[in-house]
Structure 1
Amino acid sequence: MTPADLSLTVLHAVRRAVDDGALRVDVPPRVKVERTRPGGVGEYASSVALTLARPAGRTPLDVAGILRERLRDVSGLRRVEITGPGFLNFTLREDADADLVREILAAGTSYGHGTDLAGTVVLLAGTTAPRDALVTETLARLLRSQGADVEIGRYGEWLHVHPGEYDPSYGEDVLRWAFLRAAPHDRPLDPAPLLVPHERNPLFRVRYAYSRTRRLLVNARQLGFSPEPGDCDGAALLGLLRDHPSALLAAARHRAPDRVARHLEAVADALLAFQHTVLPLGDEKPSAAHRSRLALAEAAGTVLAGGLSALGISAPDRI
C-alpha cells in the first residue's frame, strides 16, 4: 500500500463515518498522510482527526476512535493506533493489494455482503407505484445482503404497470437503471439515452467495463497466461474495490440504491482507464506484473457484476 493508497483509504473511512451518521462534517477533498517522524509509532501518520474535530463538535480523540473503527478491517493495515491528542498511526501489511484481490475472487459476486445489520428487522410497505415497487424490491435485496431480516408488503409487478412514458419495450435493465440511478427524491432518468451504446451512457459504461474484463481473460489465455494476485499499480481502482462493501452497506442503511449505481460508475471508469496496462504490448512477454494486473481486472469485473446483480441488472459477457 503506497502513501497515495493509504490517503484514499483514510478518506474512505471519513466518508463512511459521514455516511452512517457517526460524523457530521463535510468530507475533505483529500487526507494527508506522512511518514512517521523518528521515535513515532508505525510507518505513517495522519492528523485528520484533529482537523475534523472542531467542525464535528467532537474531541480529536473521539474522531480518531471513530475512524480507527472503520479502518480496523482494512486488508492493507496490520495495525492502527492513536497517539497524542488524536493522531492516527498506521503499520502496513505486506501483500495487502494481493490479499484484497484474493478476497474478492474468493467471495465472487457476494463480495461486500456482510452481517452489519444482522438482528435488524425492516418492514417495507407494499406499493403498486412502478418506481416505488422497484425501489422496495431492490432495497430488500440490499438489506438482506447486509444481514437484515426484511418483510415486504404485497406489491404489483412493477414492469407491467408503467405509465406511457416508461414503455416496457425499453427493456427491464434500462428501466431499472433509469429508476434506481436517480436519488429517490429526484425524477427518474430518461430511459431513451440509456439505449445508446456510447461512453456518455453510464449504464453502457458499467456493462461494457464488465465485458472488457471477460475479454481480457480470454485474450490472456490465448497469450498463455492467467491471473495471479500480486503487487501492482492501479491505486485508484484498488481503492474503489476496497470501498465496495461500505457502498453496499451505506445504500442499505440510507435506503438509497443510487449509491450503488454511482459507485459502479466510478469502478467502471477506473477500470476502463486501467485496462490498457493489462496485456503485453508488441513483442513484450507476459510477466508477473501482467498476471497481477489481470487478477485486479478480474476482481473489478466481479465487483461490477455483483453490484449490477444487487440492482437486478444483468452483466453480459459481450456487449
Structure 2
Amino acid sequence: MTPRRMEAAVREAAVRAFGLPADAVPFVWPRNDHADGGADAATALPPRLVAAVADRLPPPRGGHRGEVAARLARQLSDMRDEGRVDFARVRADGRGFLNLTFTDQQREALLEEAADGPRHLTGRAWGGEGEWPLTALHEAGPVAQARRYARADARARIALALGAKAPPPGPEGESFWRDPYRDGERPELLTPAARALGAVGEDSARVAFCRSAPEHPRDSETTGRGLPVLPSAENPGAWARLTEANPAFHMRYVHAHAVSVLRWAEEGAFPHAACPAHAAPALGLLFDGPSALDTAARREEPHILVRYLEALASAYDEWRTCAEWRTCSAAASATSAALPAAVAGVLRTGLFLLGVSAPTRL
C-alpha cells in the first residue's frame, strides 16, 4: 500500500460516507509517524473534514472528529468487504485519526514501488526534457555564498521533480567515491568556498549547506557535534571524515551497501534475513518519503529532505545489523533483497535532488 493509494482509498471512503463531491475532500498525506497502536499509517483527514460535514452528523456529536473518524472506519471496512481495499485492520483512535494496518501483500507492494525512487517519491517516471540545475560551487567567493548556491540548487531540483512538467531523466549507471575537488581535478582552490570544497568534497559540502534551517546562520553555528553549518578549510569538522560522524558519508555508504547487497543476493553469496521488528522502521520511513519530499517542496526547506534521508539511512543500519549479526532473538523473516532495493531507490533519488552522488560500490 503506497501513500497515494491509501490517500485515494480514504478519500473515496469520505465521498461515500458523507455524500461529498470528490473535490470537497482535502488532500491529506497519510503518515507512518502519525500511526498509533502498532498501525502502519494514519491519516489526519477526519479533523480536516469536521467543518465540511458538521450538518450531516446527528446531534449532539455533530462535527465531532471522533464520529467522522468512526464513519470513515466503517466505510473502509465495508469497502474491504466489497473487495475494493485490502487493509488488515482499520481503526479510529482518540485523536480522531484513522489508523490502518497493512497486509503482508501491501507491505511487499510498498517495497516494490520504493525501489523505483523517482516514481515512489514523485508519483511519476522521470523522462522529460531539460537539465537538472547544478551550480559550480567553486565559483562562489565566501563559503556562505556557496551555501546559498547549494540551497538554491536543491530547491530548484526538488521543485522540478514535483512540477507540472515531467522531470528530466534521473540518475543512471554506476557512481563512484571519487570527488573532483578532493582529488585535485578542479581549478585552483583560491577562494574560501573553493578551499572548503577541497577540504570536505562537493557531496559533503552540499549536504552540510542544506542540513540546517536558517537562511543566514552564524559563522560558529553547527547542526550537531563537529558539524559546522559553514565548513571551511580551517574548520571542516566531521564533514571531512569518512565515518558515520559525517552524515553525507553515512547516507552515501548506506546506499553503496544496499546496492552491494543486491549484487551479493544475485550471486547467492550473502543471504540477508532479519526479524520484522528491525525492518519495520525502514518500512515506515519508506512510506513517509513522498510526504517528506512534498513538505520540503512546499516550505522550500531542503533540510527536511536531508533529515528524512538521514533517518532512512539509520533505519537501514538497524535492519542491516540484525540481518548480519543476529542481534535479537526474534525469528528472522525469509531472505529478501526487497528492503535494500527500496532503500537504495529512495536514497539515490533523494541524494540526487540535493545534487549529491550515491556511490554504487563499497
Does TM-score exceed 0.5, indicating one fold? yes
Structure 1 segments unaligned to the other structure (5+ residues): 2-8, 11-21, 36-43, 116-125, 151-158, 282-287
CA distance in 1, matches of 2:151, 2:320: 33
Are 2:272 and 2:323, in contact at CA under 8 Å, matched by a contact in 1? Answer: no
Aligned counterpart, 1:60: 65
Report sequence identity in percent: 31
CA distance in 1, matches of 2:302, 2:321: 31
Q: Please state which structure has a larger fraction of its residues in strand.
A: 1
Aligned counterpart, 2:15: none
Aligned counterpart, 1:305: 348
Offset at residue 109 of structure 1 (A): 4.2
CA distance in 2, matches of 1:87, 1:199: 37
CA distance in 1, matches of 2:245, 2:86: 34
Aligned counterpart, 1:6: none
Pick from 211, 219, 227 the counterpart of residue 181 of structure 1: 211
Deviation readout 1:251-293 (Å, 9 max, x if unpaired): 1110011111101110111101111344698xxxxxx93433x
Pick from 280, 283, 286 the counterpart of residue 238 of structure 1: 283
Deviation readout 1:23-64 (Å, 9 max, x if unpaired): 9xxx9x9753389xxxxxxxx9999978xx9xxxx9526985
Aligned counterpart, 1:213: 258
Residue 133 to residue 162, structure 1, CA distance change in 2 (3 Å) = farther
Pick from 105, 112, 131 the counterpart of residue 121 of structure 2: 112
CA distance in 2, matches of 1:166, 1:270: 34
Deviation readout 1:152-180 (Å, 9 max, x if unpaired): xxxxxxx9999515523242212211211
Are 1:33 and 1:46, in contact at CA under 8 Å, matched by a contact in 2? Answer: no
CA distance in 2, matches of 1:199, 1:149: 37
Pick from 88, 92, 96 the counterpart of residue 106 of structure 2: 96
Are 1:109 and 1:306, in contact at CA under 8 Å, matched by a contact in 2? Answer: yes
Are 2:244 and 2:250, in contact at CA under 8 Å, matched by a contact in 1? Answer: yes
Residue 85 to residue 176, structure 1, CA distance change in 2 (3 Å) = closer
CA distance in 1, matches of 2:162, 2:283: 22
Aligned counterpart, 1:131: 147
Offset at residue 197 of structure 1 (A): 1.2
Asked if 1:172 corresponds to 2:188, the answer is no
Residue 47 to residue 305, structure 1, CA distance change in 2 (3 Å) = closer
- 1:185 counterpart letter in structure 2: E
Residue 236 to residue 133, structure 1, CA distance change in 2 (3 Å) = same
Are 1:83 and 1:89, in contact at CA under 8 Å, matched by a contact in 2? Answer: yes
Are 2:121 and 2:289, in contact at CA under 8 Å, matched by a contact in 1? Answer: yes
Are 1:251 and 1:258, in contact at CA under 8 Å, matched by a contact in 2? Answer: yes
Aligned counterpart, 1:121: none
Structure 2 segments unaligned to the other structure (5+ residues): 8-26, 51-62, 77-84, 125-134, 167-185, 218-228, 327-331
Offset at residue 90 of structure 1 (A): 4.1
Residue 252 to residue 85, structure 1, CA distance change in 2 (3 Å) = closer
Are 1:114 and 1:145, in contact at CA under 8 Å, matched by a contact in 2? Answer: no
Are 1:236 and 1:270, in contact at CA under 8 Å, matched by a contact in 2? Answer: yes
Residue 147 to residue 59, structure 1, CA distance change in 2 (3 Å) = farther
The TM-score with structure 2 as length reference comes to 0.55
CA distance in 1, matches of 2:96, 2:317: 39
- 2:259 counterpart letter in structure 1: R
Are 2:204 and 2:239, in contact at CA under 8 Å, matched by a contact in 1? Answer: yes
CA distance in 2, matches of 1:302, 1:137: 21
Residue 185 to residue 166, structure 1, CA distance change in 2 (3 Å) = same
Offset at residue 130 of structure 1 (A): 3.0
Offset at residue 93 of structure 1 (A): 4.0
Q: Alpha carbon RMSD of aligned pairs, Å?
A: 5.1
Question: The residue matched to 2:98 in structure 1 has which SS?
Answer: strand
Residue 162 to residue 248, structure 1, CA distance change in 2 (3 Å) = farther
Aligned counterpart, 2:10: none
Aligned counterpart, 2:54: none
**Aligned residues between the structures:** 256
Deviation readout 1:83-103 (Å, 9 max, x if unpaired): 999563647445111010111
Aligned counterpart, 1:4: none
Question: The residue matched to 1:289 in structure 2 has which SS?
Answer: coil
Are 2:42 and 2:97, in contact at CA under 8 Å, matched by a contact in 1? Answer: yes
CA distance in 1, matches of 2:44, 2:352: 39
- 1:177 counterpart letter in structure 2: V
Aligned counterpart, 1:296: 339
Larger Rg: 2
- 2:307 counterpart letter in structure 1: R
Map 1:226-305 → 2, pairs under 5 A? 232-233=276-277, 234-278=279-323, 289-292=333-336, 294-305=337-348
Pick from 13, 32, 50 the counterpart of residue 36 of structure 2: 32
CA distance in 1, matches of 2:190, 2:46: 49
- 2:158 counterpart letter in structure 1: L
CA distance in 2, matches of 1:84, 1:265: 31
Are 1:47 and 1:87, in contact at CA under 8 Å, matched by a contact in 2? Answer: yes
- 2:148 counterpart letter in structure 1: D
